[in-house]
Amino acid sequence: MLSTQHSEEDDQYMFVARLDNVRNVSTILKAIHFKDTATVFASPMGLKITVEDAKCVQANAFIQEAIFHHYVIKEEQLAFKINLTVLLECLTIFGGSSMPSANTSLKMCYAGYGCPLILMLEEDGVLTDCSIKTLEPDDVLDFDFCSSNVINKIIMKSECLKEVFSELDVTSDILQILMSPDQPYLQFSTFGNAGSTHSSFPKDSEMVESFQCSQTQTSRYKINLLKPSVKALALSTRISIRTDDRGFLSLQYMIQTEDGQICFVEYYCSPDEEVGDNEES
Amino acid sequence: MRITEDKVFFILSERVNDGGAQIWCELPQSHFFDEYAMEGVSAESNEIYLEVAPDLLVRSLKTAQSAKWVKVKLTKKNFPCLTIEVDLPSGSVHQRLVVHDIPVSVVARKHWPDFTEPEMPRFDVSIALPQLRLLKNVVDKMKNLSNYVAVSANNSGEMKVSVETDMVSISTHFQNLFNPSWNKDDSQTQPSMSEDRDPQQFATSRVDIRRFAQFLNSQQVNPDRIICNVVHHRMLHFFLLHDDVSLQYFLPVVSR
């Protein structure tokens, strides 16, 4: 446990949060770490950290306030931009090349606009203080993904997809996803130098928990944009795959922290090109 | 490499204005060798100084991990060599002799003064390093963020390592460390810890982080104690004694 500090000291901050196992935060952040910069949104519900690339892909990590054993925020929303690479180095400062130990506790403090993010970590009586500069938050993309426009939705166990995604043919520029009420139901395809690869999952597979497909839809996404989502997939137990009427993709990952709590990471991606329903896959 | 009647020394001197380190390592020969014979330049100067590439030496010795015996000789092939002969078991019956010839250059006597033992500095604070594991991990991470690290210590058993850049400042704080006391009799030391120094006051030196990390990572033997002497704004001096081998590592400050 961190040596106790007077709560008067905390009064200067707009936001103070503490947790006993820093891994509960560092692991989730690693799942969206594909760019150096992230925007952090803090609200009474918890933290949302957003990373974007090429105006085509967005990843969000949700760390709800219940993950922390102490969470106090004086505003409805605080937002700042921060270097995610530096933030992760600080969160894993005690960990060497692997993970910090479960004995590392964390306290995060933020005093408001223009102030740095303060981290205090402790392991085995050794204290580390970090002060990370924050920047003006950029506007984040609104993918305008709402349930009413969702055409196809599949929820499945992450297990079976892990192999597919970790073996994606990187010589293929795109990943094609087909979802359909008819065969092959769910199919991932790549088109690389050595040829095309197709991985299919029948809707009655025991891996599939929920299958709601109204229309056959084939969409293509730049593989480079989706590759980082493999990290989130690797940590997750369940995944929800949704596409809407524009072919936009939403991947939602349910991740269980070491202490058994649930966190979510989602990836949104815009399609590379529209493909007609009847195109050969 | 300096060879005397009683000891073998490994001496390394980098350019100090680059933040370069100095290493002084002493091995009593009787601890390591069953046979030892040397003949120096002359009777009065019964020593040999050799310049040798450390990685060649390390690589040759690595082959000797499971050797029955190892012989080190100074020989003359077409040029002077440190010849390492290693007798390796090969199968159950046969033996295998592996010979390494490492080219060396003999250092002339007039240059010997370049290699005298660096003086133990008048330090401001002397402290034992904390357990290497956490210190190593922290410094390795800090290395990704900055080229320099400030190492501070006081006489109350506290030590800090810090980095500061435009983007981030990080400081790790160790407590309950041991402050050794040095007597007037300790080798060349002059007693330098003034009794009226405020025990809470920190002495700091800002050094090249890569060299500091290298020093920490090179500790393969886990000595009981590594002493760190801090000369405020001048240098860090590390001293360790393990299994009869003494090693001193001098790391000067880097100017901004």
**pLDDT of res. B221:** 65
Cα distances (angstroms) measured from residue A117 to each of A7, A122, A142 = 18, 17, 25
Q: Which residues pair with B149 in a beta bridge?
A: B207
B170 touches chain A (CB under 8 A): yes
> Is A96 close to B141, i.e. CB distance below 8 A?
yes
Name the minimum distance, in Å, from the CA of A20 to any CA of chain B: 18
pLDDT at A124 over 50: yes
Q: How many residues does chain A have?
A: 281
Structure tokens at A47: 């933290």
Whether A164 and A182 have beta carbons less than 8 Å apart is answered as no
Name the minimum distance, in Å, from the CA of B236 to any CA of chain A: 21
Cα distances (angstroms) measured from residue A15 to each of A9, A38, B107, B170 = 12, 18, 65, 20
Structure tokens at B178: 């041991």
> Is A125 close to B140, i.e. CB distance below 8 A?
no
Using pLDDT thresholds of 50, 70 and 90, give the confidence band for residue A98: low
**DSSP labels for A137-205?**
PPPPP-----GGGEEEEEEEESHHHHHHHHT--TT-SEEEEEE-SSTTBEEEEEEETTEEEEEEE-TTS
pLDDT at B189 over 70: no
With beta carbons under 8 A apart, name residues in chain B contacting A93: 137-138, 141-142, 170, 172
Q: Which amino acid is at A56?
A: C
CATH 3.70.10.10 maps onto chain B at 2-115, 125-235
B122 touches chain A (CB under 8 A): no
Whether A156 and A201 have beta carbons less than 8 Å apart is answered as yes
> Is A133 close to B168, i.e. CB distance below 8 A?
yes
Using pLDDT thresholds of 50, 70 and 90, give the confidence band for residue B190: very low
Using pLDDT thresholds of 50, 70 and 90, give the confidence band for residue A273: low
How many Å apart are CA A89 and CA B168, to the nearest integer?
Answer: 11
Q: Which amino acid is at A112?
A: G
pLDDT at B224 over 80: no
B134 touches chain A (CB under 8 A): yes
pLDDT at A279 over 80: no
Using pLDDT thresholds of 50, 70 and 90, give the confidence band for residue A276: very low
**pLDDT of res. B9:** 94
**pLDDT of res. B159:** 97
How many Å apart are CA A61 and CA B94, to the nearest integer?
Answer: 63
Of the candidates A250, A256, A247, the one whose C-alpha atom is nearest the C-alpha of residue A275 is A247
b vs e for B45-83, b when ≥16 Cβ sit within 10 Å of the residue's Cβ?
eebbbbebeeebbeebeeebeebeebebebeeeeebbbb
Q: What are phi and psi of A224, to 5 degrees?
A: -60, -30
Q: What is the DSSP letter of B189?
A: P
So what CATH class is B125-235? alpha beta
With beta carbons under 8 A apart, name residues in chain A contacting B141: 89, 92-93, 95-96
A118 touches chain B (CB under 8 A): no
With beta carbons under 8 A apart, name residues in chain B contacting A96: 136-137, 140-141
Quick one: average pLDDT of A259-268? Answer: 93
With beta carbons under 8 A apart, name residues in chain A contacting B170: 90, 93, 128-131
B168 touches chain A (CB under 8 A): yes
Quick one: average pLDDT of A27-56? Answer: 94
Using pLDDT thresholds of 50, 70 and 90, give the confidence band for residue A99: low
The CATH T-level fold of domain B2-115 is Proliferating Cell Nuclear Antigen (3.70.10)
> Is B134 close to A124, i.e. CB distance below 8 A?
yes
With beta carbons under 8 A apart, name residues in chain B contacting A86: 145, 167-168
Other Cβ atoms within 10 Å of B237 Cβ, number: 23
> Is B141 close to A93, i.e. CB distance below 8 A?
yes
**pLDDT of res. A6:** 52
With beta carbons under 8 A apart, name residues in chain A contacting B169: 130-131
Helix then strand then coil, % of chain B, to nearest 5: 15, 40, 45
Q: Who contacts B186 (Cβ-Cβ below 8 Å, separation ≥6)?
A: none
Name the minimum distance, in Å, from the CA of A231 to any CA of chain B: 21
Number of CB pairs, chain A paired with chain B, less than 8 A apart = 59
How many percent of chain A have pLDDT more than 90? 69
A128 touches chain B (CB under 8 A): yes
> Is B176 close to A132, i.e. CB distance below 8 A?
no
Task: Find the range with the poorest average confidence among A58-67, A110-119, B190-199.
Answer: B190-199
Nearest to B168 among A124, A127, A132 (CB): A132
For B171, the enclosing helix (H) or strand (E) is strand B168-174
The pTM (predicted TM-score) of the whole model is 0.87
Quick one: average pLDDT of A187-209? Answer: 90
pLDDT at A143 over 70: yes
Average pLDDT, chain A: 89
Average pLDDT, chain B: 87
How many Å apart are CA B64 and CA B87, to the nearest integer?
Answer: 8
Interface test with B, best of A2, A84, A89 (most B CBs within 10 A): A89
Task: Find the range with the poorest average confidence among A81-90, A133-142, A262-271, B11-20.
Answer: B11-20
Q: Which amino acid is at A74?
A: K
pLDDT at B62 over 60: yes
How many Å apart are CA B253 and CA A265, to the nearest integer?
Answer: 45
